[in-house]
Structure 1
Amino acid sequence: MNKRKELYSFVPQEIARHFIESSQRPTDPSTNSTAIPATILLNQDIESPSSSSTDQEDDDDDDDDYVEQVQETLYAYEYEDDDEDDSTLYDSSFIQDSDSSSIDHHDNDSDVEVSQPQKLSFMRGLFSKLRLHSDSQQSSPQQHQEFGDASPYLSTYGTLINKRIGEGVSATVQLAQRQHDDAVFAVKIFRKRKRRETLTGYMKALAGEFCIASALNHPNIIKTLDFVRMDNDHERYCIVMEFCPEGDMYALIKQGKLQDDEIYAYFKQLLLGLSYLHSLGVAHRDLKPENLLVHKGMLKISDFGSADVFRVAWQEHSRLSDGLCGTTPYMAPEIFLDQGYWAAPVDVWAAGIILFCMKFDGVPFGSALLTDTNYPIYLRKRPLRQYDPFNKLAKEPRTLIYAMLNPDCNRRITVQDVLNMPWMQTIVLP
């Protein structure tokens, strides 16, 4: 029995900068669409594994049980062939110059300017130390001190405000306020290293997330500013990010006040951010409304703890990702197969679920598994485009969501093809 896998991208800052400078498009699968019908499940009725706030140690037996449950799922469904090709959903006459892609519509100025003199030197030193040790070796207190000494303190960015704005299995998010200019930052505070966890493995996870997130620069992606340690607890590390005071998309959806023009504008911004990520060979792999922050009409993708680099700048072809990651209602069907999968189409599937969620405050099915009540109905109805929950959508978004929720990842439409659709070209951004 294979253990449940948790993948962390481990990319040195120099490599991260290198693949960001590349303008190559990924060579992953694209194309195709279809139809569906069933009841809408409200968000509050779905238990998300990633929303747990427990800080206890993971149980190996629980992981085995989880994998066995997934592997025992009846997944021998044969997809009916579609005569329609999703790649025909866009007209090449509407394609804009790719060099002027997403950032033409946005102001790229940051509200908070932060100097980062120690960040790169710390990360280089960190990775240099990581390469000297094996995961199988026991870490000594002296080794741990080496890691800590290289890192700046959280007090560089002010004092923590006693208020949690986010919480998950591996970290909590709090606010920090800097005294001299009252600037406010979001601080992701990671859990302490577990007893059975090696220092190298622990630091790879934290530094991998930071290296990817801090190398990204796009108006629809949250700015990651620094990697620091707690002043009063040197075994706790933090990532400092820009703060979006308006909260996340989940809270906005729950207010029930989103209009269609707002929904589609936010959705287009999500696609622009994803297009940027995929062009650099990065997939998020845990897209959901809780990981989409909003600020002054702008949507920003956050939380790159599950992100994977599926292609770096000097590679012509993408590599398969693996590992069971994400939040169940937003996970593509191929993730549950416990084998390699293309990471970019996984984000496309999640974005399609998010579009439905923004529109109807719910998800079209609980999971992309045959054990789910509604998903088998979707598979039966999809070829004729007759899945009931989608019938309330207008023609363009209905056609789009079928293309994005193609159960065959090799025929699923790509983010760039979605952006090239004539309907998407008419959506005006703030």
Structure 2
Amino acid sequence: MVTFSTDYWAPGMEVTVRRRIEQSYPDNSNNADYQHHTHNDKHWSTLRQVPTINSSDSTPSSSKNRNLIHKIFHHESKASSSNLQHSSNETTDQDDPYLPRTPKVQEKKNIFNFTRVLGRPASGDEASEPKKIDCTLLEKYGICDKGNIGQGATAVVRLAHKLSPKESEKLFAVKEFRKRRKNETEKEYIKKLMSEFCISSSLHHENVVETVDLVQDEQQHWCEVMEYCSGGDLYNAIKQGHMTRIEVNCCLKQLMKGVAYLHSMGVAHRDIKPENLLLDAKGHLKITDFGVSDVFRMGWEDTPHLSKGLCGSEPYIAPEEFQKKEYDARCVDIWACGIVYYCMVYKGIPFRAATPQDANYQHFLNMRGVNNYEPIEKLPTGCRSVMKRILDPNPATRITIEEIIADEWFKNIETCVHGENQNPHRHF
């Protein structure tokens, strides 16, 4: 039985969550393999876990971007990859079954030319020094603060101040990427870096963080320059505990509108969580961090392809990612949005991971089957029916983003304009 009392968030229920960088899940994984796999991941702090069972009984265990994006996402044929071996000693990527076997000449010419795009020599010699670029981060976007305003598994984010005699001070969020690892080739490093930049820089929506530029700083570290969101992230807003139900629903609607835009562009985020949702000064919720995003449909494709790899943060990962080699990444985003909504309402996570080893997840499955999962049953009627379909363990019957947008309860959610609406409500 769940009791939502003031002492519900006991410090003992704090959990440590790992962010998973995209990786293949083992074919014949068992419980021991899974435990070993999670033990070595880096720890990420997150919300407290909401216990749903007695802890004493069991232990919670667009077409115009076609050429650019085509260069990034391992969508080349074997013919293109084999030609690359004549100019580089690096290992070729696997053939992509979702693209035609014979690429166009122009596409073939531009594939794997990341090094020239970023001002590095394209000879494949990893010992070569990078070319000096004309304009550095300091010259274009001003001085960066020494302290971090954000930190992740692969980057840190700092605040840059651009001063101009004719203009007022402008603020930018500067994401400094990690250095290339010793066991990582130059091509692999540049491919990962450019994947994130090319996805984020092609997205323009009020609920997506705007990416401005990709430059090097004075130490020749690659940095992604983005708009600065002064409201912080949704995680901190939830932890403060001051969100009303009107604000929670407003944030949900903005999140769904942002996800709907991403999916319309053929992009799945695959790491939606409160830490990756920012708030600007006008109350807009914005999606950020496209480090593990996947392009599931190119501009010239009619049919989406499946995604691979287990990635994201465990409490927000959909169950099919743990169970299948390939999955529909759009369904994964929908599930994560449902967990985020649960976090906003109850200020905690329902379970640590949607796996058979997690007793709280098993309790969720059992109670959901008889329509008796209390956190969902306590929601208003319209919201309850939507959340039941969002948190459907079966991706084949899970609600789609189009169905959510068309739902009457969802359409009647009031969203703020410049941080306020007629109620009024103001975000934080």
TM above 0.5, yes or no, is yes
Aligned match for 1:262, one of 241, 244, 247: 247
Aligned match for 1:216, one of 179, 203, 211: 203
Counterpart in 2 of 1:356?
342
Q: CA RMSD in A?
A: 3.2
Counterpart in 2 of 1:418?
404
Amino acid at match of 2:125: S
Amino acid at match of 1:48: V
**Aligned partners of 2:202, 2:324: CA distance in 1, in Å?**
30
Aligned with 1:162: secondary structure? coil
Alignment of 1:139-154 (within 5 A): 139-140=124-125, 143-146=128-131, 149=133, 152-154=136-138
**Aligned partners of 2:368, 2:31: CA distance in 1, in Å?**
26
**Aligned partners of 2:18, 2:202: CA distance in 1, in Å?**
28
Counterpart in 2 of 1:318?
304
Contiguous gaps of at least 5 residues in structure 1? 1-36, 53-57, 74-119
Aligned with 1:364: secondary structure? coil
**Aligned partners of 1:290, 1:134: CA distance in 2, in Å?**
39
Give aligned-pair identity as a percent.
37
Aligned with 2:232: secondary structure? coil
Q: Do structure 1's residue 194 and structure 2's residue 163 form an aligned pair?
A: no
Aligned match for 1:272, one of 250, 253, 257: 257
Larger relative CO (CA 8 A, sep 6+): 1 or 2? 1
Task: Map Cα deviations across residues 155-208 of structure 1 (whole Å, 9 max, x no partner).
Answer: 311111122111112111111111213111001111111112111100100110
The count of corresponding residues between Structure 1 and Structure 2 is: 332
Q: CA deviation at 1:143?
A: 4.6
Structure 1 runs, 4 residues or longer, greater than 4 Å off = 37-44, 66-73, 130-134, 141-144
Counterpart in 2 of 1:367?
353
Q: Do structure 1's residue 185 and structure 2's residue 172 form an aligned pair?
A: yes
If you compute each CA radius of gyration, which structure gives the higher value, 1 or 2?
2
Aligned with 2:149: secondary structure? strand
Amino acid at match of 1:175: L
More helix by share: 1
Assess if the C-alpha contact under 8 Å between 1:158 and 1:178 holds in 2: yes
The normalised TM-score by structure 1 is 0.71
Amino acid at match of 1:211: C
Q: Do structure 1's residue 283 and structure 2's residue 268 form an aligned pair?
A: yes
Amino acid at match of 2:175: K
**Aligned partners of 1:353, 1:134: CA distance in 2, in Å?**
45
Counterpart in 2 of 1:156?
140
Assess if the C-alpha contact under 8 Å between 1:265 and 1:428 holds in 2: yes
**Aligned partners of 2:346, 2:278: CA distance in 1, in Å?**
19
Q: Do structure 1's residue 294 and structure 2's residue 282 form an aligned pair?
A: no
Aligned with 2:357: secondary structure? coil
**Residues 371, 151 of structure 1: CA spacing in aligned structure 2 closer, same or farther, 3 A cutoff?**
farther
Counterpart in 2 of 1:379?
365
Aligned match for 1:250, one of 235, 240, 262: 235
**Aligned partners of 1:205, 1:286: CA distance in 2, in Å?**
16
Q: CA deviation at 1:71?
A: 6.2
Aligned with 1:184: secondary structure? strand
**Aligned partners of 1:67, 1:200: CA distance in 2, in Å?**
30
Amino acid at match of 2:17: S
